[in-house]
Structure 1
Amino acid sequence: MAQLTDAFGWDTPDALKEWFRLSGATEPLRACIGPLPTSGAVIVRWTADRPDTQVRTLVPHPDSYRIAIQLEPVQSEIWKDNAPVWSGVIGANRFRICMPGAKGRWHRMSGCDIVNIFIPTATVHTMAATCGQDLEMLSNNWFAPDRIVMDLTQKLLEADTLAGGWAPQFRDHLTSALVAYLLQQHAQLPEASANSSLAGSRLQKILAYMAERLADEISVVELADACAMSESHFSREFSKSVGMPPHQYLMKLRLERAREALIDSNARVIDVALELGFTSASHFARAFARRFGVAPAAFRQLARHSSDELCSIAA
């Protein structure tokens, strides 16, 4: 229990509630759970039915990631280091990873229903190390729709009903599942290790080779041949340098390129899929939903809706 409270200076539940009060949360908090016995995570849900009249300073949380989940739409303005980064409506069922020690301000201009999950950086990095991942940090994403994150959040909130007296252990395992998913989808890995024989210009050359051939069927044997390595040696050195196997990196690259195409072009979903090496629309849709938590067509609609909101504000 001391792991999280020491990191924040939260020695009592009142100190935790004070953090939320300073950040603009209204009392009473709908849920204030933790620290959990193993992960040290804290789960807080708060709601408001009217706007906040003040611009609030977000108090840093230097030793924990904060996963902010919007259960309902909220209209807000957000500043980072005194620079405006958002003004408009954040849609329901979206989440954001907030970095340890991050500073900023926000102004809530509507009611809200928000869940904050604080996960100690030590918990995240220990899990990454256990799985052999050399993690630099989780990526600082913007509010994105993700069905997996939403499902896990709901189960964290409903654990007392679902697991009864086992709720703390149930929540700990759900937190581990959430961390594992975020590590898979949102890990920012260090630069290539100098100990890897696949580094520097050699690595950049093979990454460019992969990026230029996303529509083709690229085998590990082909990639290994391009580096004058055996298949097993190449796979091992690639994973050491990039943090994931070649086929997984290719899929990540294809899906990120697909996301850009869905936002920036009017191409049909099937055409985007085929141009990026997917064999069918259904194969593409399943892979895209696993990566981003929403189907391609729904993602395009959400992205354009958000863009329209920003344009109307700018006008």
Structure 2
Amino acid sequence: MIVRSVAEKDVAELASLFIAPPNPGKWKVAAAEIRLPEPLLDVTPVAPRADVLIVRMQLNDYPRHRYWEDGMTTPVRDVAAGEILFHDLRRGPRMVLDQPYHALHVHIPRAAFDAIAADSNAAPIRDFDYAPGVGFDDPTIAGLGTSILAGLGDSAVRNQPLVDHLILAMAAHVATRYGGMAPMSRGARGGLAPWQTRRAKEILSANLDGAVPLTEVARQCGLSVGHFSRSFRQSFGTTPHQWLVQRRLDAAKDLIRSCRMPLSNVALSCGFADQSHLTRVFTREVGASPAAWRREVQQ
């Protein structure tokens, strides 16, 4: 999956707010936080049509929201901060951008929904049930969106496995709630095969910084992301992200115990963003700061 964060200075690159990720593939999903304190456009141009659904979480109040799909205008409505809107890029969405705008856009291509349906033993989704240009409340999407925003803003590359999980969960929720996906039970599945277990551990351990997307780990194991995540939890009793965090902590403990390397270097060597990130996670999981733990083990 691709995760993108769009800052103010990058918005000029976007021909429209409704733009699909470049070269969308089977699992190419993008998350972008868009903040426009001073709107650059009046009516957004028509983006190239693509079989992509944008899940938009509005982060500021947007009164008098004027919106079109398939060239047809919708009633002018106020959109409140926290509300969710869907935009189907097959329908050429456009809106008037004449006031400050702040939103999270999550781009989910049709191929991703098809893969989720196949993995759930369900029929492919045809259309989504939503009213164009109308905001609605969905606590599940809002909660996942808030967590995705945190992942984009705090060492996005190192949080890649976690953000992958969040976007996948949002796509599955949208497919079930608004796409009518009805998974059919296939009985309990086992965990990873021994060779898959070894391969997953090799890849994750060699990339403690989390730079390898979960999709690539799953591909190396010959599984879809959803199947891999479930099987990994069944085999290890935890998620890939939690397992990776524990490996980072184990590596940090080894370095702290065996040498006098500065904690800032320990953090970078073990996949943490910086010393404060190491301290925060270490203290939460171990119950003592790295410096305090070093003094204790040396004594």
Which structure dedicates a bigger proportion of its chain to strand? Answer: 1
Which structure dedicates a bigger proportion of its chain to helix? Answer: 1
TM-score, normalisation: structure 1: 0.46
